[in-house]
Structure 1
Amino acid sequence: MGESEEVLLEKIRTLEDENKILKEENTESTKKLRNLETKELKQNVSNRQLEGKIKELKGEIKSFKKTPLILATITEVFDDNRVGIRGHVGHDFVVTYPGSIDKDKVIAGARVSLNQDSLAVVEVLPSKKEADIMAMEIEEKPDINYNDIGGLENAIVEIKETVELPIKKPELFEEIGIDPPKGILLYGPPGTGKTLLAKAVANQTNATFIKLVASEFVNKFLGEGARYVRQVFELAKEKSPAIIFIDEIDAIGTKRTHGTQGADREVQRTLMQLLSELDGFESRGNVGIIAATNRPDILDDALIRPGRFDRTIEVPLPNKNGRINILKIHTEKMKIDENIDFESISELTEGFSGADLKAACTEAGMFAIRNERKKVISKDFMDAIDKIINQI
């Protein structure tokens, strides 16, 4: 009987061992199954990504196979879904457009795409904004005000009268019975604050500031410069009230000669278009025109005559008191030693422009950082002035 119990116990232990082995095998199989399920899930995701990529590539291939459309401009609108168009090659055609196109969009000057075979209008394209126009410096409201400009009190008064008053209080001119000045010319050495003045006026009048360099008007393609001028003024009308600031206007405004070269003719065409815009054959609305130059002596007489740039304002190098004010403006947020004598610094910086003084303040701060000081001392300013003088 005892032997039978031992045999039974041995069988039980054997069964338990076998059961344990089966459980371990089952656990291992479960792990393998889960790993396979995970791999399958990842594979499905990868397949979907590849399917999306294939679909995208097929779309690109399909677009490459499409017949290109012709770009044209509507010149005239007729009845019966017909319009006159002009392509870039200069030919005029009368073509049709489908009824699915909104008639309100079919207007003279609109850009359209045409079928190559029938020249029928396929779609009306969005209005074009030249890349050069959009690349200009455009600020809805500059953060510069008159307090940020030092040493130009007289220029500030004149620019207020010429640009700010016509925009903010046009009734004053109506009451007196005179037309407001159309534009002003700022002239003086580089870095004296001509751009800052224009930005400050835009700030005070809540106007959009549009800045461009006159040399951008000159284009190698015939007629492009004149078109660029028109687009600048159209943009200003859209953004009005606006201030157009044309820097280095001498690039296109020099006295005209009898030169026959293509470049000279293109510059003269551009100047003529600018003069036409300044004459105001069409109302500019609340648009002020400010130009700047370092060489007023070489400008064409037609450009600076009354009725175009009515006033010329000198923006000179700052005097001693002006330099002190400029230094205080640029050091307002700097940590400086209390013993710094701005009057002495002003005497040492005679002939410096506002931009030079700002550079001197920046260099003084850099010298303080280089010497691991938390404040700017007089020696830093002396070193900075020496560095700027050697660079001028």
Structure 2
Amino acid sequence: MDEVGPVNTTSRDQEISDLIDKHETIERNLTWEVRKLEKDKVLLENENLRLDREVKSLKTEINRFRTPPLVLATVSELLDDNKTVVKSSTGPSFLLKYSDKDASKMEIGARVALNQQTFSIVEVITSEKDPLVSGMEIDEKPDISYDKIGGLKEQIRETIETVELPLKNPEIFEKVGITPPKGVLFYGPPGTGKTLLAKAVAHETNATFIKIVASEFVKKYIGEGSRLVRGVFELAKEKAPAIIFIDEIDAIAAKRLQGSTSGDREVQRTLMQLLAEMDGFESRGDVGIIAATNRPDILDPALVRPGRFDRIIEVPVPDEEGKLEILKIHTRDMTLDVDVNLEQIAHEAKEASGADLKAICTEAGMFAIRDEKYSVSREHFEQAMDKVMNKNKNKESTDGVMFG
């Protein structure tokens, strides 16, 4: 009897110990499960938040797609009290009010988006120019005036009548009852002052001067040239009053022929776009067009007809009196010796253009610098004439050998 008690006690203690261990194991397992479930809960909550945000984003996108399309319009007139007249792309014009926040963007020629139902201005569309338009040279106001051009009095007068008067005094043409001319074509040998005339007109009219060489219109892919032409005229309308100067226009305006390659046809498409812009249904506003070429004989007849280029002005090599005027302009700031006779130089430089005469004055100054003189002598001018005029003769003889 004394030995049975301790044995039973030891067995019960072992059982109790095993039960405690089992419960502790179960408790640890349950704790681990609880923690795992809590982590899963946090992950699910985060996933739920992400899905909620995605649903909201998709709903916003759906609502945006459900928004009716806006009507495009162009601002044609700005009035007082934040009012403007716009011409819509659908045809009619509207008198609308715009908010103060859009006031800085509102200008004539700007594009706006209108609500289809209320025709209120939703936003002002900023103009993003095509990268192709980067080939243009834009000068807000050139510093060339008429007094810096010599020997072209008649050409200056005709240019003023054709381009300057319609921009500065359009009411004159209304009183007379005629449509003001919009285009002028300069033709003549290189270096005679065609570009100077165009810049002088832009200076006198305070117009934006947009210069582009016609070869910039010739692009690799179909439609690129036409798109660039449209971009040039859109930019001119935005910058109005503006003058578009197309140099070497014969690069795209040669006569159209029956047989032509695909490249020729693309150039012709660009020409047709230019013709449409010059003589289109939409008014160009205060935009004048000036073009220059050395080869008027190869231009397409559709380009040089009245209504596109109303004046075709020859810019020849200056006569002796004109040469003297040009020499006086280019020597205005030079220090000359008493033996320098500008009239004699003008007489001797028989075939010199305006650019040649400027080069002669520059070279004469360079010869004086070489001789370490602070004034230019007659001998320096003679050396300069020899250098410039002989260089031109050599070039002409070389051209004769290559192309004769």
TM-score for the superposition, normalised by structure 1: 0.69
Aligned equivalents of 1:349 and 1:165: distance in 2?
A: 35
The answer to whether structure 1 residue 151 and structure 2 residue 137 are counterparts is no
* Superposition map of 1:238-387 within 5 A: 238-387=238-387
Aligned equivalents of 1:273 and 1:136: distance in 2?
A: 18
Corresponding residue for residue 198 of structure 1: 198
* Superposition map of 1:216-231 within 5 A: 216-231=216-231
Corresponding residue for residue 128 of structure 1: 128
Q: Report the secondary structure of 1:191's partner residue.
A: coil
- Are the counterparts in 2 of residues 225 and 270 from structure 1 also a CA contact under 8 Å? yes
Corresponding residue for residue 138 of structure 1: 138
Q: Report the secondary structure of 2:359's partner residue.
A: helix
Q: Which amino acid aligns with 2:186?
A: L
* Cα deviations by residue, 1:32-81 (Å, 9 ceiling, x for unpaired): xxxxxxxxxxxxxxxxxxxxxxxxxxxxxxxxxxxxxxxxxxxxxx9723
Unaligned runs of 5+ in 2: 1-63, 71-104, 106-110, 115-123, 393-404
Q: Report the secondary structure of 1:288's partner residue.
A: strand
- Are the counterparts in 2 of residues 181 and 307 from structure 1 also a CA contact under 8 Å? yes
* Superposition map of 1:107-126 within 5 A: none
* Residue-pair matches, total: 282
Q: Report the secondary structure of 1:308's partner residue.
A: coil
Residues 106 and 348 (structure 1), Cα distance of their counterparts in 2 relative to 1, 3 Å cut: closer
Deviation at 1:126, TM superposition (A): 6.4
- Are the counterparts in 2 of residues 138 and 209 from structure 1 also a CA contact under 8 Å? yes
Aligned equivalents of 2:131 and 2:319: distance in 1?
A: 41
Residues 338 and 152 (structure 1), Cα distance of their counterparts in 2 relative to 1, 3 Å cut: same
Structure 1 moving runs of 4+ over 6 Å: none
Q: Report the secondary structure of 2:270's partner residue.
A: helix
Aligned equivalents of 1:316 and 1:280: distance in 2?
A: 32
Q: Report the secondary structure of 2:220's partner residue.
A: coil
Q: Which amino acid aligns with 1:326?
A: I
Q: Report the secondary structure of 1:186's partner residue.
A: strand
Deviation at 1:259, TM superposition (A): 2.9
Corresponding residue for residue 185 of structure 2: 185
Q: Report the secondary structure of 2:252's partner residue.
A: helix
Corresponding residue for residue 81 of structure 1: 67
Deviation at 1:135, TM superposition (A): 3.8
* Cα deviations by residue, 1:86-120 (Å, 9 ceiling, x for unpaired): xxxxxxxxxxxxxxxxxx99959xxxxxxxxxxxx
- Are the counterparts in 1 of residues 113 and 125 from structure 2 also a CA contact under 8 Å? no
Aligned equivalents of 1:131 and 1:80: distance in 2?
A: 33
- Are the counterparts in 2 of residues 247 and 291 from structure 1 also a CA contact under 8 Å? yes
- Are the counterparts in 1 of residues 164 and 201 from structure 2 also a CA contact under 8 Å? yes
Residues 165 and 106 (structure 1), Cα distance of their counterparts in 2 relative to 1, 3 Å cut: closer
Aligned equivalents of 1:208 and 1:125: distance in 2?
A: 22
Aligned equivalents of 1:328 and 1:177: distance in 2?
A: 42
Aligned equivalents of 1:370 and 1:306: distance in 2?
A: 53
Deviation at 1:348, TM superposition (A): 1.4
Q: Report the secondary structure of 1:336's partner residue.
A: coil
- Are the counterparts in 1 of residues 135 and 212 from structure 2 also a CA contact under 8 Å? no
Larger radius of gyration: 2
* Cα deviations by residue, 1:282-330 (Å, 9 ceiling, x for unpaired): 1111000000011111111000011111110110100001001100100
Residues 106 and 336 (structure 1), Cα distance of their counterparts in 2 relative to 1, 3 Å cut: closer
Deviation at 1:143, TM superposition (A): 0.6
Aligned equivalents of 2:112 and 2:350: distance in 1?
A: 62
Deviation at 1:125, TM superposition (A): 10
Aligned equivalents of 1:229 and 1:311: distance in 2?
A: 22
Unaligned runs of 5+ in 1: 1-77, 85-103, 109-123
Corresponding residue for residue 119 of structure 2: none
Aligned equivalents of 2:130 and 2:367: distance in 1?
A: 44
* Cα deviations by residue, 1:2-47 (Å, 9 ceiling, x for unpaired): xxxxxxxxxxxxxxxxxxxxxxxxxxxxxxxxxxxxxxxxxxxxxx
- Are the counterparts in 2 of residues 259 and 265 from structure 1 also a CA contact under 8 Å? no
Aligned equivalents of 1:186 and 1:326: distance in 2?
A: 19
Deviation at 1:339, TM superposition (A): 2.5
Corresponding residue for residue 108 of structure 2: none
RMSD: 2.2
Aligned equivalents of 2:130 and 2:328: distance in 1?
A: 42
Q: Report the secondary structure of 2:66's partner residue.
A: coil
- Are the counterparts in 1 of residues 323 and 346 from structure 2 also a CA contact under 8 Å? yes
Aligned equivalents of 1:128 and 1:174: distance in 2?
A: 35
TM-score for the superposition, normalised by structure 2: 0.67
